[in-house]
A and B are shown apart, each in its own frame.
Chain A
Amino acid sequence: MSERRRSVAIHVPVLTRVEGEGALDLRIDNGEIVQLRLRIFEPPRFFEKFLEGRSYTEIPDMVARICGICPVAYQATAAQALERLFGVELGPWARAMRRVFYCGEWIQSHSLHIHLLAAPDFFGCNSVIELARIAPQEVRRGLRIQALGNELMDLFGARSVHPVGIRVGGFHGAPSVERIGDIRDKLRAALPEAEALIRWAAGIAVPQDDQDFVCVAMRHPLDYAIECGDIGASDGLHIGAEAYDEHFAECHEPHSTALFSSYRQRPYLVGPLARLNLNHERLPPRIKALLAATGLVLPSRNLFHSLLARAVEILLALHEALRLLDGYRVPDSPWVPVAPRAGVATGCTEAPRGLLWHRYEMDADGCVVSARIVPPTSQNQARIEEDLRLSLLDFGLDRPDEALRLHCEKVIRNYDPCISCATHFLRMKVERT
């Protein structure tokens, strides 16, 4: 075995196939990692500040603008938080359709990430365009599934990018029975495609990895939690959204415009694998059986199983949308009246990339006094750096620079980081003498 120790400096100036703009700095001196930073330099976007003074009626549409990939997550979380504060009880139709709407987002976001962003890594391809040369049928299938997710979002949100469907108290409108009948046919036709996707994803050779990390995801007594539930962790934590702040902390690091989150002073994982690890018992029997046939043992401590977890959640979302649209009727009203009140509103849902938490302080007129939004990528950022460190040590620091760079990128993309969502305003302390 070689005893040679070397110094390496790897800088990936712009990470590709992630949402938004970030970079990676890695420095190895004498065979030891001395610097490893996921640097998020996308400018802060001030969204929380924009919300101050705005009426509750504007919030769902404003927060939908935070992300072009997961706008429903932002809308649904804001509406849920405000409805809880205002004492609003959604009708059964709106409750069910919130979940259906959210399923559309999971389907499109997950399919996009699997096929356009993550899968090329596991086939030695630089992009989906190269992947399409060796797996054209699979890429076509992925595009069809993604388009179906977009169509479902468009149905309830009037458009799939930055939709405008949700209002505090329900939805602005209800799709016709005919349109629902049409989408149900398409959802049903997509089931075998999603099952084939799971089998394909399970067959992709991924690096073996075994890391110790805490999973955090929402939990629901009956359902695989998406749009409602409490917050749970793999160490047994079980809290309501209002207690999030007592257990989770955020801090700034100088190299990032995103906040770093920690739980009991440690990084933690949110996202598809955390959800599957915690909630796989809530999957419908048919999906459970399919998952068992893949041989995946849960809970998994290999983050590279995230791609398969996304595929499983696509099938779940198709099943859930079909189940909830069975016997669809247009309601008398898609929303219930709302009377604002002053107080603090908290809410959380499971965005495609993981737990999304909102907190609003509202005045008596229903206007925002202050807002705080904790997106999944902030919560995963410390975990990504921890994973990179462990993965590199496992991979071998003596590998060629290009191999190290590719491995780091593969690890980062695995988390599907949405850097645009995660950037925050850097709090400044000015001292004058």
Chain B
Amino acid sequence: MSGVRILGIGSPSGDDQAGWLVVDALLAGGLDDIDIDKLDRPGASLIPMLENAAWVILIDAMQGSGRVGGIQRFDRKDWPDYRHGLSSHGFGVLAALSLARELGSLPPRLDLYGIEIGSTNPGEDAAAVIAAAAQQLARRIADELPRTGR
């Protein structure tokens, strides 16, 4: 079993790169013995990536909960119930986490971070405020990691 696994979720569309930018910032800071990856809208394939790890840190973009660049951490009790029917087009992180919970695939510790984003135009860079938020979140995550895992 791996110790810590960090997964940044995003797409190459403007601010939606927020999760990837956090991974970039963590890698630039130097990390050893950490399983770290960027994912592009993984859908249900996120579920096996939550397995065989003691602690998974997920970072994704979010919209509709405050100022652009704001960072939020969600505990499991904060996840809304997923009641909608699903299409694979709409099988997002919440759906994957809800399914993983039913299948008993969630790791012992799961930290879910969201960065509030604005524009998501394909091919554009993320806004400066998003890049700054990604740096800030990377520092916060790095500070929480065990020293042996840095």
Binding site for B on A (CB under 8 A): 16-20, 68-69, 112, 116-117, 126-129, 132-133, 136, 139-140, 143-144, 146-147, 150, 161, 420
State the CA gap A144–B47 with chains docked (Å): 10
- Min CB–CB distance A219 → chain B (angstroms): 29
The residue on B at minimum CB distance from A126 is B85
CA distance A136 to B100 in the complex (A): 10
* Total A-B residue contacts, Cβ distance less than 8 Å: 63
From B44, B89, B91, B102, A420 is in contact (CB under 8 Å) with B89
Extra A-B contacts (17), CB below 8 Å, given A112-B88, A116-B91:
A16-B86, A17-B86, A19-B89, A20-B87, A20-B89, A69-B88, A116-B44, A117-B87, A126-B85, A129-B86, A132-B99, A132-B103, A136-B104, A139-B103, A143-B47, A144-B48, A147-B45
- In the complex, 20 of the A-B residue pairs with CB atoms within 8 angstroms, ordered by the A residue number, are A16-B85, A16-B87, A19-B87, A20-B89, A116-B44, A116-B91, A117-B86, A129-B95, A129-B99, A132-B102, A133-B102, A139-B103, A143-B44, A143-B45, A143-B47, A144-B48, A147-B45, A147-B48, A161-B40, A161-B41
Q: Which of A128, A133, A139 contacts B86 (CB 8 A)?
A: A128
Does B84 sit at the interface, judged by CB under 8 A?
yes
* Contacting residues, chain A, for B47 (C-beta < 8 A): 143
The range of chain B's interface size is 20 to 34
Q: Bound state CA distance, A20 and B89, in angstroms?
A: 7
Whether a CB of chain A sits under 8 angstroms from the CB of B98 is yes
Q: Determine whether the beta carbon of B102 is less than 8 Å from that of A116.
A: no
Q: Which B residues are in CB contact (< 8 Å) with A19? A: 87-89
B147 near A: Cβ within 8 Å?
no
Q: If A143-B47, A147-B45, A147-B48 touch, does A136 touch B103 (CB 8 Å cutoff)?
A: yes
- Bound-state Cα–Cα, A68 to B89, Å: 8
Q: Which B residues are CB-close (under 8 A) to A161? A: 40-41
B residues contacting A by CB (< 8 A) are 40-41, 44-45, 47-48, 82-89, 91, 95, 98-99, 102-104
Looking at B41, B48, B88, the one whose CB has the most chain A CB atoms below 10 A away is B88
Contact present for B102 and A16 (CB under 8 Å) = no
Closest residue to B101 on the A side, CB-wise? A129
Q: A17-B87, A127-B84 are in contact. Are A143 and B48 (CB under 8 A)?
A: yes
Q: Is the CB of A146 within 8 A of B44?
A: yes
Q: Report whether A127 and B87 are in contact in the complex, using a CB–CB cutoff of 8 Å.
A: no
| CB neighbours of A127 from chain B (8 A) | 82-86
Q: Which 9 pairs, one residue from A and one from B, show the smallest C-beta to C-beta distance?
A: A16-B85, A132-B102, A17-B85, A129-B98, A129-B99, A127-B86, A132-B103, A112-B88, A129-B102
Give the contacting residue for A117; candidates B41, B88, B98, B103; CB below 8 A.
B88
The listed residue with most A CB atoms (<10 A of its CB), out of B87, B103, B104, is: B87
Q: Give min CB distance, B43 to chain A, whole Å.
A: 9
Most A CB atoms within 10 A — which of B41, B45, B102?
Answer: B102
CA distance A116 to B99 in the complex (A): 10
B contact residues around A126 at 8 Å (CB): 83, 85
- A18 CA to B85 CA, complexed, in Å: 9
Q: Nearest-CB distance from A320 to chain B (Å)? A: 23
* Alpha-carbon distance between A17 and B86 when the two chains are bound, in angstroms: 5
**Residues in chain B near residue A129, CB distance under 8 A:** 82, 86, 95, 98-99, 102
User: Which chain A residues border B82 with CB–CB below 8 Å?
Assistant: 127, 129
Task: With CB as the reference atom, state the residue of chain B lying closest to A125.
Answer: B85
Question: What's the least CB distance linking B44 to chain A, in Å?
Answer: 6
Min CB distance B134 to A, Å, is: 24
The reply to whether B44 and A140 contact each other, CB–CB distance below 8 Å, is no
A432 CA to B69 CA, complexed, in Å? 52
Closest to B41 in A: A161
**Once bound together, how far apart are the Cα atoms of A126 and B85, in whole Å?**
6
Q: Smallest Cβ distance from B93 to chain A, in angstroms?
A: 14
- Chain A residues, CB < 8 A from B45: 143, 146-147, 150
Residue of A nearest to B98 (CB): A129
Cα–Cα, bound, A127→B96 (Å): 12
CB closest residue in chain B, given A132: B102
Distance in angstroms from A168 CB to nearest chain B CB is 26
Bound CA–CA A69/B43 (angstroms):
12
Which B residues touch A69, using CB under 8 A?
Answer: 88
In the complex, which residues of chain B have a beta carbon less than 8 angstroms from the beta carbon of A140?
A: 103
Chain A residues with Cβ below 8 Å from B87 are 16-20, 117
Q: Chain A: which residue is nearest B45 at the CB level?
A: A147
- Nearest-Cβ distance from residue B106 to partner chain A, whole angstroms: 13
